[in-house]
Amino acid sequence: MSGPLIDFDRVSQIYAARDGSPVWALSDVSLRVEAGEFVCLIGPSGCGKSTLIHLLAGFLKPTSGAVRFRGRPLDGPGPDRGVVFQEYALFAWMTARQNVEFGLRMQRVSAPVRRRRALEALDRVGLRHAADRYPHELSGGMRQRVAVARALVVEPEVVLMDEPFAAVDAMTRTTLQEDLLRLWRETGVSVLFVTHNIDEAVFLAQRVVVMGAGPGVIREDLTVDLPYPRDRGSAEFGREYARIAAALARGSRGADQSDGERRAA
Amino acid sequence: MTAATDDAAGTGLSTPRHSAADARSDSAAFAEEFRRAHRRGLRRAAWLRALLNVTGILLFLAVWEAVPRLGTWVNPVLLPPPSVVFDTFVPMLLSGEIPANILASLRRAALGFGIATATGVTAGLLTARIGLLHHVSEPILHGFRSVPSIALVPLSVLWFGIGEGSKVALVAWGSFFPIWITTFIGVRDVPAAYLRSAACLGAGRLATLLLVVLPAALPMILAGLRQGIAVSLILLVAAELSGAREGVAYMMSTGHQMFRVDIMLIGLVLLGTFGFIADRLFVALIRRLFPWYTTAS
Ligand SMILES: Nc1ncnc2c1ncn2[C@@H]1O[C@H](COP(=O)(O)OP(=O)(O)OP(=O)(O)O)[C@@H](O)[C@H]1O
Ligand SMILES: [Mg+2]
């Protein structure tokens, strides 16, 4: 396959506000992601990060422009694009294993194979022992692990993650990040990861896409050229952190500046 | 880390010569003891609860027994004490009159409720999932829902006669609405994250409906069914009072004609027991079938 895996081509998304006036969630956004890349989207609240994810997942159709996946325009959600939500979207009436098996069941994989693959997937997120527990019997971090296993077990080409670790405590968050990086390197899947957290972006991403609000646009596209695993205490880490923080600050100031000034900055 | 392992670590510290294996068996023994004590506590609480329940019933019976005897302000013919009611009850039970009436009533209620469950859940699912159907049926369904079901008793007798048909139809009619409306709300309010997860994992329409929408709406559907049980009883009584040849409420109306308040009271107690047992059975069944349900929400 030639060309990028994901191709947002001059995409705009307009919602109707309650009074019917247009809300520009995304304005003329173009973004390409290659197969196997780990890309973080970062930006202030309301800049259209979730909208971007929903467009690619197939929950929304763009108002204008095209979203292409492997060169073809999208037509609804599908198992080639896994999604991990911020809120807990595990099926409450299924055990962890049944949740992970769900996607395989939809592919009509036979029960014994399904079971084996689900247990392997749970093993990879360190939760084999919790396979028979229901979501309400799991901690927040464990639930997100199961959600990651559920998304990965059907072997999607990209996983879309919308602030998946925002609701867990800082310590759990760090281990979840490490696990995610390990899974990414083991499977070669592409990851599009939304975060509010600069530290998280620098720790995870090869590329950090900085977005700005009102209307939602992409301000900068920064490469984080550090080897994995990354050391949060290192000087390079601090430099990358400062670079992204500066880009975010420019972005939020840029919203009420002229185009010329922004380009000069 | 659980309390049990914490404690085991503490024991290990106080006796430093412990080997690792000892510490492990200690903690297992502690866990076993802890579990046993916990179960004992639960059992004791359950017994106490049952005891208090029975005490409540006995107190009520004692007051009821005393009131008609305590002076002239209560006429014992209008309010016979429980001992009198019981004396009437036993021969009626042994002659088979009461069991036959109970069976007749149960059959009607179960049949009507079964029909209402099948149609109500189906209607709720379809109207919540298919927008067109929802808008077309909305005014009619809500219009009918607003008519108190009891108002249909005379019409139902005209339409279905005084046989079983009219009674079953009334029960089904009345309990259909709470089941339909709660199913509708439950299905309509299934969280978007569930539907989106299912779609991303490749689920089609039917799989989404059966494996995601129905179980997600189940708490609401069950609440509707429970309400439906209560409504079934009300309509059962209304239907039987409007003319029947057997049944618990029929028995009460014959008691009324013969001025036998004791027979009427037997009917009341039976109806109360029906409702209570049906509700309890229902809750127990849910606990059994859906272990995630009671604790999840
Ligand atoms: N369904 C909707 N109807 C109307 N406006 C919407 C809708 N969804 C989003 N918006 C608006 O579109 C803009 C972008 O929303 P989006 O959820 O994509 O932002 P976000 O970057 O994910 O924000 P956050 O960081 O707070 O999650 C916001 O101004 C939001 O108010
Ligand atoms: Mg968002």
- Give tens-digit pLDDT for B60-100: 999 999 988 887 778 888 889 999 999 999 999 999 899 99
Q: Which domains does chain A have, with CATH numbers?
A: 1-80+158-171+179-224 (3.40.50.300), 89-155 (no CATH)
Tokens of B92: 């009626």
**Among A182, A222, A184, A224, residue whose Cα is nearest residue A203:** A224
Judge contact between B220 and A123, C-beta under 8 A. no
Tell me what the pLDDT averaged over chain B comes to: 86
Ligand nearest to the CA of A85: 2
pLDDT in the model for residue B105: 92
Q: Are strands A72-73 and A64-69 parallel, antiparallel or unpaired?
A: antiparallel
Q: Is A161 helix (H, G, I), strand (E, B) or coil?
A: strand
Could you give the CA distance from residue B166 to residue B245 in angstroms, rounded to a whole number? 13
What is the percentage of chain B residues whose pLDDT exceeds 70?
Answer: 90
Taking the Cβ of residue A106 and every Cβ of chain B, the question of whether any pair is shorter than 8 Å is answered with yes
Judge if ipTM > 0.85. Answer: yes
Of all atoms in ligand 1, which is nearest to the CA of residue A18? 4
Question: In this structure, what DSSP letter does residue A233 have?
Answer: T
Give yes or no for a contact between A43 and A248, defined as CB atoms under 8 angstroms apart: yes
Cα R_g (chain A), whole angstroms = 19
- Give the per-residue pLDDT at B22: 62
For residue A186, pLDDT beyond 70: yes
- Range B202-206 average pLDDT: 92
- Residue for token digits 């000034």? A261
Would you call B202 and A87 a contact, using CB atoms and an 8 Å cutoff? no
Nearest CA in chain A to B290: A93
Beta bridge partners, A81, equal A158
| pLDDT tens digits along A3-18 | 899 999 999 999 998 8
Asked if A97 and A119 touch (Cβ cutoff 8 Å), the reply is yes
- What does the H/E/C string look like for B7-43? HHHHHHHHCCCCCHHHHHHHHHHHHHHHHHHHHHHHH
Distances (CA, A) of B236 to B60, B244, B264: 27, 11, 16
Cβ atoms B167, B240 nearer than 8 A: yes
Residue of A nearest to B297 (CA): A136
Q: Which residues from chain A sit within 8 angstroms of residue B290, using beta carbons?
A: 93
Whole-model pTM: value is 0.80
**Alpha carbon nearest to ligand 1 atom 18, residue:** A48
State whether residue A217 is helix, strand or coil.
strand
pLDDT at B163: 82
Please indicate whether residue A24, judged by its CB atom, sits closer than 6 Å to ligand 1.
Answer: no
Residues of B near A (CB-CB distance < 8 A)? 191, 193-194, 196-204, 207, 211-212, 215-216, 218, 290-293, 295-296
Prior bond of A215 cis (ω within 30°): yes
Q: Which helix (H) or strand (E) is A221 found in, with range?
A: strand A217-223
Task: Kindly state the average pLDDT of the residues B240-250.
Answer: 87
The verdict on the CB of residue A21 being under 6 Å from ligand 1 is: no
Is the Cβ pair B200, A107 closer than 8 Å? Answer: no
